[in-house]
C-alpha cells in the first residue's frame, strides 16, 4: 500500500484527546505514522485523501453477516462478501453458520479462516451451538474455538430445547466462549410471514407476534442467570425484548444484544406493497418497537448494530411474498439506514466500531501514532445510488436497490490495504 495522507478529517473517537476535531493522518506501511492538525509531505508517491466534511474512526465491525461459503457460493462467497463489507465500512465481520455444511466443526472453521487470510477485512467464523444446527446435540464448541471460532450461534435457527441451551451456556463459560441466541419460539411464530398486528390482519397473512421473541429472551436470561454465564442476543426487534434485557443488565447479568439496521427504519406498514425484499427474520415491527429500540441504543441497553447481510439468488426472492426466503443484502446500506434513523455520528461509531469488539472481547484498535491503521472514512451527507454498478455482493435482494442514499463510506484501511469508494 502506498503512503496515505488523510486530510481535514473529523476524528470520532470518544477516548481520544482530539475527538471531534479536524486532523490530518499519515499512514505508512500500514501504520499510523503521524497525527496532527496539518501535515506537510514532499513524498511524490503520496496518495492524498481529502476528508473535508467527513469523519474518521476505527473500522466498523459487523457482528452478524452471512456468506454462502461453504455450500451456497452462488449466493455469496468470502471474496464477494468481504468486498461488500469493505464497501460498507467494515474492516471485520463475524460470519454466521447458515451454510451447507454449517460451521459445526473445526474443518469448516479452518476453511473460512484459511480462505479469508490476507484479506482487507478480518473474517471471524461463528460456530454452531448444535450439530447441523438441528438443536439436538451440542457441537464441538471448544475445538471450534481453538481453530478460530469467535462465538457460537445456530444462525437463523433458534435453539428450541432449553436443556441444550443451558448446557451450551455452562460449557462455553468454561473456556470464555460466547453463546449468541437468536430468540424465536417456533411453536408461536415458526413459519409465519411477517409481524403479527393490524397490517398482517389486513393482508391476511400469518403473523409472528412479539411474544415469540420475548418469551425466548426471557427463557435464555433465566438460563444465563442460573448458569452464571454470559449471553448475547442477536437481532432483537421488540419493545418487550429491550425491557427484559434492560432489567437483566440492572440485575448484573452478563447480557448484551444487537439490532439489525433495517429494524430501526422499516415498519410492517411497508409490507403492504408485498415487496419480498422486505421479508426478514425477525420481521419488520411497528413504530412503537422502533422507538423502543432507538431508546435502548441511546441508554446503552442495545450494545451494537449489525447488517444481518443475507444474500439470496433471484429465484428465492422474485416470488410471492409468502414463499420468499427471509433476508436482505445489507453490508453496504447500514450507514445510510443509520443516518436515516437519525443516529448521531458518535452513536454510529459507538454501535458499529466499539460495541461489537467489547461484546467479543476483542482488543480495540487505536488511532494513535505507531498503531496499526484500522480506519474508515465516511460522510453522513454525501449521496450515492445503490445499484448494479455500486453493489459488490453477488446478490441483489435489497429494498433499497436503485435508490439514492445519503451516507457514504469513502475509504477503509486495514491490514496494510486500502479500498477507496469512487
Average pLDDT of the residues in 205-219: 96
pLDDT value, residue 57: 98
> pLDDT band at residue 43, thresholds of 50, 70 and 90?
confident
> pLDDT band at residue 221, thresholds of 50, 70 and 90?
very high
Q: Is this prediction's pTM over 0.75?
A: yes
- Give tens-digit pLDDT for 249-272: 999 999 999 999 999 999 999 999
Instruction: Evaluate if residue 378 carries a pLDDT over 80.
Output: yes
Same-domain pairing of 137 and 18: no
Give percent of the chain above pLDDT 70: 100
Same-domain pairing of 185 and 97: yes
Q: What angle do CA 355, 361, 367 make, to 5 degrees?
A: 60
pLDDT value, residue 109: 97
Average pLDDT of the residues in 141-151: 98
Domain assignment of residue 46, given as a range = 4-56+368-420
Same-domain pairing of 114 and 195: yes
Same-domain pairing of 63 and 149: yes
**How many domains is the chain partitioned into structurally?**
2
- Give tens-digit pLDDT for 224-249: 999 999 999 999 999 999 999 999 99
Tell me which of 360, 384, 406 is where a domain ends: 360
pLDDT value, residue 106: 96
Tell me which of 340, 360, 380 is where a domain ends: 360
pLDDT value, residue 294: 98
- Give tens-digit pLDDT for 305-323: 999 999 999 999 999 999 9
Same-domain pairing of 194 and 312: yes
Instruction: Evaluate if residue 132 carries a pLDDT over 80.
Output: yes
Instruction: Evaluate if residue 422 carries a pLDDT over 90.
Output: no
Which range, of 40-49, 147-156, 279-288, averages the lowest pLDDT? 40-49
Same-domain pairing of 201 and 222: yes
Average pLDDT of the residues in 40-68: 93
> pLDDT band at residue 190, thresholds of 50, 70 and 90?
confident
Domain containing 231 — which CATH number?
A: 3.20.20.140
Domain containing 376 — which CATH number?
A: 2.30.40.10
Same-domain pairing of 278 and 412: no
Same-domain pairing of 41 and 73: no
pLDDT value, residue 1: 78
Same-domain pairing of 339 and 374: no
Tell me which of 317, 338, 360 is where a domain ends: 360
Same-domain pairing of 279 and 352: yes
Same-domain pairing of 46 and 63: no
Same-domain pairing of 17 and 81: no
Instruction: Evaluate if residue 44 carries a pLDDT over 80.
Output: no
Amino acid at each position: 500500500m502506498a503512503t496515505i495522507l488523510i486530510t481535514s478529517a473529523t476524528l470520532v473517537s470518544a477516548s481520544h484527546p482530539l475527538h471531534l476535531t479536524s486532523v490530518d493522518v499519515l499512514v505508512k506501511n500500514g501504520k499510523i505514522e503521524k497525527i496532527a492538525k496539518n501535515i506537510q509531505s514532499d513524498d511524490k508517491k503520496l496518495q492524498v485523501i481529502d476528508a473535508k466534511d467527513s469523519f474518521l474512526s476505527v473500522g466498523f465491525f459487523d457482528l452478524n453477516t452471512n456468506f454462502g461459503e461453504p455450500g451456497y457460493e452462488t449466493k455469496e462467497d468470502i471474496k464477494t462478501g468481504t468486498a461488500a463489507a469493505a464497501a460498507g465500512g467494515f474492516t471485520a465481520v463475524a460470519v454466521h453458520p447458515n451454510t451447507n455444511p454449517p460451521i459445526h466443526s473445526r474443518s469448516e472453521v479452518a476453511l473460512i479462516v484459511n480462505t479469508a487470510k490476507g484479506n482487507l477485512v478480518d473474517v471471524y467464523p461463528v460456530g454452531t451451538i448444535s450439530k447441523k444446527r438441528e438443536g439436538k446435540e451440542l457441537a464441538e464448541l471448544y475445538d471450534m474455538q481453538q481453530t478460530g471460532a469467535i462465538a457460537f450461534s445456530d444462525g437463523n435457527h433458534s435453539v428450541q430445547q432449553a436443556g441444550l441451551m443451558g448446557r451450551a451456556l455452562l460449557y462455553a463459560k468454561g473456556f470464555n466462549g460466547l453463546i449468541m441466541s437468536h430468540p424465536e419460539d417456533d411453536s408461536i411464530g415458526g413459519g409465519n410471514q411477517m409481524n403479527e398486528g393490524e397490517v398482517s390482519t389486513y393482508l391476511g397473512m400469518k403473523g409472528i407476534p412479539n411474544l415469540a421473541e420475548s418469551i425466548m429472551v426471557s427463557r435464555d436470561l433465566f438460563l444465563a442467570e442460573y448458569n452464571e454465564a454470559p449471553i448475547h442476543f442477536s437481532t432483537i426487534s421488540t419493545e418487550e425484548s429491550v425491557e427484559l434485557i434492560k432489567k437483566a443488565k440492572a440485575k448484573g447479568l452478563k447480557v448484551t444484544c444487537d439490532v439489525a439496521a433495517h429494524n430501526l427504519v422499516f415498519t410492517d406498514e411497508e409490507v403492504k406493497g408485498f415487496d419480498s425484499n422486505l421479508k426478514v427474520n425477525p420481521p419488520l415491527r411497528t413504530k412503537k418497537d422502533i422507538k423502543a429500540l432507538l431508546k435502548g441504543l441511546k441508554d446503552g441497553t442495545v450494545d451494537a448494530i449489525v447488517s444481518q447481510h443475507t444474500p439470496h439468488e433471484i429465484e428465492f426472492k422474485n416470488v410471492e411474498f409468502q414463499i420468499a426466503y427471509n433476508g436482505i443484502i445489507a453490508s453496504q446500506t447500514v450507514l445510510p439506514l443509520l443516518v436515516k434513523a437519525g443516529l448521531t455520528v458518535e452513536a454510529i461509531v459507538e454501535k458499529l466500531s466499539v460495541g461489537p469488539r467489547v461484546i467479543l472481547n476483542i482488543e480495540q484498535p487505536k488511532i494513535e501514532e505507531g498503531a496499526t491503521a484500522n480506519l474508515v472514512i465516511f460522510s453522513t451527507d454525501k449521496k450515492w445510488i445503490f445499484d448494479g454498478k455500486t453493489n459488490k455482493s453477488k446478490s441483489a435482494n435489497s429494498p433499497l436497490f436503485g435508490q439514492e442514499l445519503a451516507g457514504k463510506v469513502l475509504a477503509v484501511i486495514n491490514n496494510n490495504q486500502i479500498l477507496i469508494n469512487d
